[in-house]
């Protein structure tokens, strides 16, 4: 029997990046009691990411210390509806976090804004190439929010994170040395770009020779000491090369711990409870109003936490699962093509060209977002007409680090083990890097999320079932991008290169990226979106949904910039409109 | 201000026989209910005296006592100063509190140990004690019995304190120095009196007493070495501006240093709450202290320092940089730092072993932390790196031996600190 607790004003499900932003902004109203429920442990820079021991690749990267434990909660997977989905018993293609700070603890810090066309993708494609250009089963749509509306939110997010970068478009004027394709920004980044690594210099040279305009990628790794908008101090990045899958011990990588929590924890109207796994959002008898959430703590005790407002801030897929488990919004049915929750799931399509230099490039001096990139081939930046596909992506050489176990590149044909492997490793470790192609994935009628009919989690609740495969459009786009990356490699004066196209069906086993999107798409039409343009559930107006679960399709960028901008966008609407007069912010 | 009058051990035993409680001072307090402004002033003074820190146990109720205060003679537990009538000070009159603070004698006439800093509080004016009494009467009463001190004989005999007082303690209300400015006098009152800065920052003799002639030249408190506050350029505050002293006390750090160890608690619980005017007064007083700095030793060289340079490059330079200059506003410089070149290196060794946190203050909320290196570095490596930073970039201070680090490591284990 669940214990009923005292009501709070706002309950946040999960305590990662979006929840931290919401908590910090909402608690500015000192009368509002905000509670975050986090399924994982409390974590802080010291002692959890101490520089004395964080560089333990076996513990963190191989044994995956920071991530969710599939023994408690996982998902099932199949490529298509005619297959039987099986549960993931080990983490693979993507790595959701568990613990305070969420995935923003273990990310690289690669920071991008989406471009103006990304937010009106269907309109853009129909207008430029005609309606017939979009395949019948492709369910891409506009977001219901524009770049211009989000621009101040991106700006605030960047000054919160302390982004290091170079503006490419200041109020409509293209800037030398920045990303010339970015949407207009009101001002430059708060910090200058990171110091350059040698391979990024060589990439820059090759990309220019190939006719492109490379630029330093924006980084949530600080290039100099910084004090952010909440008065929180960060130290400059040491280029230790232990960003992705590690916490930062130097206060240099933006995470809730290094940017928000020191300010938030001073407030008495905020509380976080860790090891509390939310299992349901409770609805009243009408099903139109949430009354709070149910959660289970580490002792296995069940609690009912009443709340006036419920905000889902868990990982993208977990938000969707909670909505399905709780009956918030109509579940998507791909056969009947009805319902919205679980619809428009998308992923990312990654390919690469490994490059083998003639000279030593010291790969171990890196940072998660130390990269040089080109953006000529992202969604709106070239004529897709002759190619027949939709979407695109950026191409970049990142020097994220040279960790000994997992981070090295070997030429094609190298033996997988034994003396030949050792020899090749010794010859190449100091002289190799990789060019990445970060490709968009469109949404389709056949790629979706629903509840698995068979498999259950540790609490007896159905697991989420992911049905997903790459479609022709994605392979065509990804091959196109990879060819462009090869053209840069050819201009780089290398010993050799090895192009790694993404072939065949999607496999959930090898790690690719943690950029899952959709399932609770946002939009201005309730027939094809689960939340309105303010991230408010169309069906239950006191439930809001954060994170990339609201993306209607996935863009050719890392999603965090847009996830954060949307959180600021939504919290502004909650504070200035919803809380003053609770109810739907847009009529269905 | 407590003065160091005699040193002979024999005198201590001689005096024991004749010791008696000193007479009460004349008391002029009124007994009406205090005004709000009196209570507010008392709350401020209680912050200035940092009463809550010692009188609150970890995770305990405020002012209910029970914090262990380590001394060279054993452990003393702070007392319950909430207004509970049976276990706290609910029955104490203003005069009772004044006698405790002024003379070191409690309501029942027992001698207090000078872990309660009455040798400094003796200077606090009766009017201020009255306000403190008014404020303490408003805090939540907590029923919690005091824990007796764990001291070895003869220190376990409270009556011995009468002798100690005869030898080392002079009662005296602050009268000021008419030749100095009002600001200097206010600073002197706060630093020498309620602030009881000398309790840590002034050297103590074998009996735990301080000597006026050494005032603020650096001393021990809770196993940490509190560096000199005097005018020395190398190991004192001679190189700090008054503004930098104010910034440090208000925010927990400045361009020269960050508060660590017991001083971090001091800033967190006390000085950050003081008015800019009072902090400026304290700074003015401290900047008037003389420079009695001894000659700098020659720069240390040899294997230990060479090893220390390598340890520094691996484990320290990421934040404090190769140049030792730190990162402005974030990580403190080691180069030219008076804390690094302090007469004793105990605090530095403890920071390397145990880590340290800059106090998260209202104006600088981050609470940046240095991690513990106790598991990663052995005694020799700790000795090496501390010796290195005390002699690199123009710094000059005595090296630390492996044995000294081993002793401090085992001391920390006994205290329950460190891994």
* A46 vs B: CB within 8 A: yes
Reported residue count of chain A is 588
Count of alpha carbons within 13 Å of A118, Cβ hemisphere only?
A: 26
| Whether residue A442 has pLDDT greater than 90 | yes
Smallest Cα distance from A222 to chain B, Å: 12
**Residue A249 sits at the chain B interface (C-beta within 8 Å):** yes
Question: Looking at CA atoms only, how far is residue A408 from chain B in angstroms?
Answer: 23
pLDDT band for A120, please (50, 70, 90 cuts).
very high
A50 and chain B in contact, CB less than 8 A? yes
A452 phi/psi in degrees, rounded to 5: -70, 135
pLDDT at B415: 66
Q: What does the pLDDT profile of chain B (419 residues) look like in tens digits?
A: 333 333 333 333 333 333 333 334 444 444 567 788 999 999 999 999 999 999 999 999 999 999 998 888 889 999 999 999 999 999 999 999 999 999 999 999 999 988 899 999 999 999 999 999 999 999 999 999 999 999 888 878 788 888 888 888 888 888 899 999 999 999 999 999 999 999 999 998 888 888 777 889 999 887 789 999 999 999 999 999 999 999 999 999 999 999 998 999 999 999 999 999 999 999 999 999 999 888 889 989 899 999 999 999 999 999 999 999 999 889 999 999 999 999 999 999 999 999 999 999 999 999 999 999 999 999 999 999 999 999 999 999 999 999 999 999 998 877 654 44
Interface membership of B313 toward A (CB under 8 Å): no
Please state, in angstroms and rounded to a whole number, the distance separating the CA atoms of residues B253 and B257. 6
Q: Where would I find the beta strands (DSSP E) of B27-169?
A: 68-71, 74-77, 150-151
Q: How far apart are CA A247 and CA B360, in angstroms?
A: 21
Verify whether the Cβ–Cβ distance B330 to A45 is below 8 Å.
Answer: no
Q: Kindly state whether B120 is in contact with chain A, defined as any CB-CB distance less than 8 angstroms.
A: no
| Cβ separation A233–B330 shorter than 8 A | yes
| Chain B interface, best mutation among A51, A160, A365, by max B CB count within 10 A | A51
Closest CA to B255 of B327, B165, B162: B327
Q: Which of B329, B355, B357 sits opposite A233 (nearest CB)?
A: B329
Domain extent listing, chain B:
9-168, 303-415
Measure A576 CA to nearest chain B CA, in Å.
Answer: 27
Q: Find, in chain B, the residue whose alpha carbon is nearest to that of A265.
A: B365
Nearest-CA residue of chain A relative to B418?
A47
Closest chain B residue to the Cα of A48, Cα to Cα: B371
Cis peptide, bond prior to residue A47, ω within 30 of zero? yes
Closest-CA distance of chain A to residue B290, Å: 35
Backbone angles phi, psi at B339, to 5 degrees: -65, -35
Burial of A365 (0-12, 13-18, 19+ CB in 10 A): middle
* Pairing state between β A448-456 and A8-13: unpaired
Residue of A160, A233, A234, A250 to mutate for B, most B C-beta atoms under 10 A: A233
- Choose the weakest-confidence range: A461-475, A527-541, B4-18: B4-18
Q: How far apart are CA B50 and CA B222, in angstroms?
A: 15
Cβ count within 10 A of residue A84: 9
Residues of A annotated catalytic, as ranges: 515
d(CA A330, CA A530): 8
Residues in chain B with CB shorter than 8 Å from the CB of A236 are: 327, 330
Say if residue B154 is preceded by a cis peptide, omega within 30 of 0. Answer: yes
B374: closest CA of chain A, how far (Å)? 9
What residue spans of A77-176 are helical by DSSP H?
Answer: 103-106, 121-129, 147-161
Contact criterion met (CB below 8 Å) for A55 and A242: yes
110-169 in chain A: CB under 8 A from chain B: none
Question: In this complex, which of A44, A230, A236 lies closest to B327 when CB atoms are compared?
Answer: A236
Across A64-68, A375-379, B124-128, least confident range: A64-68
Residue A402 or B416, more confident: A402
**B276-287 helix and B242-251 helix, angle to the nearest 10 degrees:** 130
B158 contact partners, CB below 8 Å, separation of at least 6: B110, B111, B113
Tell me the shortest Cα–Cα distance from B352 to chain A, in angstroms. Answer: 11
Angle, helices B276-287/B182-189, rounded to nearest 10 degrees: 90
- A489 and chain B: CB distance < 8 Å anywhere? no
With CB atoms and an 8 Å threshold, state whether A240 touches B376.
Answer: no
Q: Which of A53, A232, A235 sits opposite B319 (nearest CB)?
A: A235
**pLDDT tens-digit series, residues A253-270:** 999 999 999 999 999 999
Contact criterion met (CB < 8 Å) for B330 and A251: yes
Closest CA to A371 of A533, A197, A251, A521: A197
Q: Nearest chain B residue to A224 by CA: give it.
A: B327
Residues 70-99 of B with CB under 8 A from A: none
Q: Which of A43, A52, A231 would best serve as a mutation to test chain B binding (most B beta carbons within 10 A)?
A: A52
CA distances from A569 to A32, A536, A575 (A): 19, 12, 10
Q: Which CATH architecture has domain A3-578?
A: 3-Layer(bba) Sandwich (3.50)
Is B318 near chain A, with CB under 8 Å?
A: yes
**Cβ contact B365–A262 (<8 Å):** yes
Q: Does A251 touch chain B (CB under 8 A)?
A: yes
- Rounded to whole angstroms, the Cα distance separating A117 from A98 reads 34
Query: What mean pLDDT value characterizes chain A?
Result: 97
Helix B242-251, helix B262-269: angle, nearest 10? 80
Shortest CA gap A67–chain B (Å): 23
- Could you tell me which chain B residue has the CA closest to the CA of A264? B365
Which residues does chain A have within 8 Å of residue B368's beta carbon, measured at their own beta carbons?
Answer: 233, 235, 251
Strands A8-13 and A302-312, how do they pair? parallel
Please list every residue in chain A whose beta carbon sits closer than 8 Å to the beta carbon of residue B366: 231-233, 251, 262
Are the beta carbons of A239 and A370 closer than 8 angstroms?
Answer: yes
Q: Do A232 and B365 touch (CB under 8 A)?
A: yes
DSSP-assigned letter for residue A371: E
Verify cis geometry, omega within 30 degrees of 0, for the bond prior to B416. no
Residue A575, min C-alpha distance to chain B (Å): 24
The topology (CATH level 3) of B303-415 is Cytochrome Bc1 Complex; Chain D, domain 2 (1.10.760)
Q: How far is CA A587 from CA A310, A332, A514, A582, in A?
A: 20, 21, 34, 13
Mutate to test the interface with A, among B371, B377, B382, B418 (most CBs of A within 10 A): B371
Model pLDDT, residue A540: 98
Residue B355: list chain A partners with CB under 8 A: 46-47, 50
Q: Check CB contact of A30 with chain B, cutoff 8 Å.
A: no
Q: What is the mean pLDDT of residues A524-551?
A: 98
Contact state of A52 with B372 under an 8 Å Cβ cutoff? yes
Question: Is the CB of B371 less than 8 angstroms away from the CB of A52?
Answer: yes
Whether A229 and chain B come into contact, CB under 8 Å, resolves to: no
Count residue pairs from A and B with Cβ separation < 8 A.
Answer: 67
- Measured in residues, chain B has a length of 419
Tell me, yes or no, if B225 comes closer than 8 A to chain A by beta carbon: no
To the nearest whole angstrom, how far is the Cα of B18 from the nearest Cα of chain A?
54
A235 in contact with chain B, both atoms CB, cutoff 8 A: yes
Cβ distance of A238 and B318 shorter than 8 Å = yes
Tell me which residue in A44, A234, A250 faces B318 most closely, judged by beta carbons.
A250
């Amino acid at each position: 029997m669940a214990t009923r607790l005292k009501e709070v004003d706002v309950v946040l499900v999960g305590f990662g990046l979006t929840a931290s932003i919401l908590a910090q902004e909402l608690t500015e109203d000192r009368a509002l009691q905000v509670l975050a429920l986090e399924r994982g442990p409390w974590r802080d820079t010291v002692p959890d990411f101490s520089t004395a021991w964080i560089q333990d690749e076996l513990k963190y990267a191989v044994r995956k210390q920071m991530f969710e434990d599939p023994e408690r909660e996982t998902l099932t997977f199949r490529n298509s509806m005619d297959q039987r989905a099986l549960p993931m018993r080990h983490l693979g293609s993507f790595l959701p976090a568990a613990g305070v700070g969420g995935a923003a603890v273990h990310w690289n810090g690669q920071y991008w804004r989406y471009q103006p066309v990304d937010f009106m993708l269907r309109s853009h494609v129909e207008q430029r190439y005609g309606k017939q250009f979009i395949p019948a089963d492709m369910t891409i749509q506009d977001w219901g929010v524009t770049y211009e509306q989000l621009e101040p939110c991106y700006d605030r997010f960047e000054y919160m994170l302390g982004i290091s970068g170079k503006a490419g478009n200041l109020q409509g004027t293209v800037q030398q040395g920045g990303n010339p394709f970015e949407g207009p920004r009101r001002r430059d980044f708060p910090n200058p770009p990171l110091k350059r690594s040698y391979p990024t210099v060589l990439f820059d040279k090759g990309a220019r020779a190939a006719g492109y305009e490379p630029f330093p990628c924006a980084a949530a790794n600080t290039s100099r000491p910084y004090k952010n908008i909440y008065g929180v101090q960060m130290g400059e990045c040491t280029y230790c090369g232990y960003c992705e899958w590690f916490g930062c011990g130097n206060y240099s990588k933006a995470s809730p711990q290094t940017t928000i929590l020191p300010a938030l924890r001073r407030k008495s109207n905020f509380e976080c409870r860790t090891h509390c796994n939310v299992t349901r959002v409770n609805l009243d008898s009408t099903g139109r109003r949430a009354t709070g959430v149910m959660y289970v703590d580490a002792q296995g005790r069940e609690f009912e936490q009443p709340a006036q407002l419920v905000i889902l801030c868990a990982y993208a897929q977990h938000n969707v699962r909670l909505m399905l488990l709780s009956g918030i919004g109509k579940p998507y049915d791909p056969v009947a093509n009805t319902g919205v929750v679980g619809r428009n799931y998308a992923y990312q399509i990654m390919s690469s060209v490994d490059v083998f230099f003639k000279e030593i490039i010291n790969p171990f001096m890196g940072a998660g977002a130390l990269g040089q990139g080109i953006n000529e081939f992202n969604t709106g930046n070239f004529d897709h007409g002759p190619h027949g596909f939709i979407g695109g992506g950026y191409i970049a050489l990142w020097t994220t680090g040279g960790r000994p176990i997992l981070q090295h590149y070997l030429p094609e044909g190298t033996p997988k083990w034994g003396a030949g492997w050792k020899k090749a490793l010794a010859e190449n470790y100091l002289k190799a890097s990789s060019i990445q192609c970060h490709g968009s994935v469109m949404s389709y009628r056949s790629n979706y999320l629903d509840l698995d009919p068979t498999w259950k989690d540790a609490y007896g609740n159905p697991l989420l079932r992911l049905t997903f495969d790459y479609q022709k459009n994605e392979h065509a786009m990804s091959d196109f991008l990879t060819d462009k990356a090869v053209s840069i490699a050819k201009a780089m004066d290398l010993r050799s290169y090895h192009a790694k196209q993404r072939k065949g069906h999607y496999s959930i086993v090898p790690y690719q990226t943690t950029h899952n999107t959709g399932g609770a798409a946002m939009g201005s039409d309730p027939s094809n979106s689960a939340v309105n343009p303010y991230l408010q559930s169309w069906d239950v107006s006191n439930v809001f949904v954060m994170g990339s679960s609201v993306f209607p399709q996935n863009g050719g960028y890392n999603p965090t910039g847009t996830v954060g901008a949307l959180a600021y966008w939504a919290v502004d609407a909650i504070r200035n409109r919803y809380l003053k007069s609770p109810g739907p912010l847009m009529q269905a | 201000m407590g003065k160091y009058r005699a040193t002979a051990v024999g005198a201590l035993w001689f005096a024991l026989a004749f010791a008696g409680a000193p007479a009460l001072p004349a008391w002029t307090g009124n007994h009406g209910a205090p005004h709000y402004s009196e209570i507010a002033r008392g709350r401020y003074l209680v912050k200035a005296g940092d009463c809550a820190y010692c009188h609150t146990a970890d995770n305990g109720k405020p002012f209910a006592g029970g914090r262990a205060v380590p001394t060279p003679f054993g452990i003393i537990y702070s007392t319950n100063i909430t207004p509970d009538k049976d276990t706290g000070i609910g029955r104490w009159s203003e005069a009772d509190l004044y006698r405790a603070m002024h003379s070191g004698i409690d309501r029942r006439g027992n001698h207090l140990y000078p872990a309660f800093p009455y040798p400094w509080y003796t200077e606090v004016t009766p009017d201020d004690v009255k306000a403190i009494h008014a404020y303490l009467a408003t805090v939540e009463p907590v029923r919690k019995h005091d824990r007796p001190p764990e001291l070895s004989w003869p220190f376990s005999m409270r009556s011995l304190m009468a002798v100690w007082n005869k030898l080392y303690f002079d009662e005296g209300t602050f009268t000021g120095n008419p030749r100095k400015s009002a600001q200097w006098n206010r600073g002197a009152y706060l630093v020498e009196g309620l602030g009881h800065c000398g309790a840590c920052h002034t050297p103590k003799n074998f009996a735990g007493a301080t000597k006026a002639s050494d005032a603020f030249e650096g001393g021990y408190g809770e196993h940490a070495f509190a560096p000199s506050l005097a005018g020395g350029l190398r190991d004192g505050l001679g190189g700090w501006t008054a503004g930098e002293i104010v910034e440090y006390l208000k925010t927990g750090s400045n361009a020269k240093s960050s508060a660590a160890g017991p001083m971090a608690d001091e800033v967190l619980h006390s000085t950050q709450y003081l008015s800019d005017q009072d902090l400026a007064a304290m700074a003015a007083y401290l900047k008037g202290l003389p420079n009695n700095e001894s000659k700098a030793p020659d720069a240390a060289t040899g294997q230990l320092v060479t090893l220390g340079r390598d340890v520094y490059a691996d484990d320290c330079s990421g934040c404090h940089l190769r140049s030792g200059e730190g990162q402005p506003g974030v990580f403190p410089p080691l180069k030219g730092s008076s804390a690094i070149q302090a007469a004793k290196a105990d605090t530095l060794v403890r920071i390397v072993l145990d880590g340290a946190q800059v106090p998260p203050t209202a104006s600088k909320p981050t609470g940046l932390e240095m991690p513990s290196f106790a598991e990663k570095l052995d005694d020799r490596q700790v000795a090496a790196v501390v010796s290195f930073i005390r002699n690199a970039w123009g710094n000059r201070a005595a090296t630390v031996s492996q044995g000294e680090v081993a002793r401090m490591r085992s001391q920390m284990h006994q205290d329950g600190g460190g891994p």
